[in-house]
Amino acid sequence: ENEVSNVQGFDSNSIQEWHAETKKGMESLLEANKNSKDALVNAHDEAVAAQVQRDEERARNLMLEEDYNRAQEELKQLQKRMKDSESQNAERLKQAKIDTESVANVRDDMSSRLQK
């Protein structure tokens, strides 16, 4: 009975106005809810895209590290071969000097024999 008396205090226009305002409020809430859901979906998509990009960067980083390690190993091998080559060249030069001195001694010996 209390409710009936509350409704009786309103005329048809005020009920229609209240209905229109309530409908507008609900539509606004529904639009805000839809916008929030859209924002959530977009944020999720962006997070997934960022994760994919991060994974791609990690894979690229691993490949670069492998390339770097391979290049470091090649550099070590080349340095070792260069050092070995330098040692061999130094030994050859030493032997060439010995041979040159030996030939010079033989030449000097022959020259002194010829002069006698």
Residues 23-56: pLDDT tens digits? 999 999 999 999 999 999 999 999 999 999 999 9
Compute the distance between CA of residue 58 and CA of residue 104 in angstroms, rounded to an integer: 67
Q: What is the dihedral of CA 24, 30, 36, 40, to 10 degrees?
A: -170
**pTM of the full structure:** 0.52
Look up residue 54 and give its two tokens.
């991060």
Asked if residue 8 has pLDDT above 70, the reply is no
User: What are the DSSP calls for 41-62, one per residue?
Assistant: HHHHHHHHHHHHHHHHHHHHHH
Q: How confident is the model at residue 75 (pLDDT cuts 50, 70, 90)?
A: very high
Residues 82-106: pLDDT tens digits? 999 999 999 999 999 999 999 999 9
Asked if residue 3 has pLDDT above 70, the reply is no
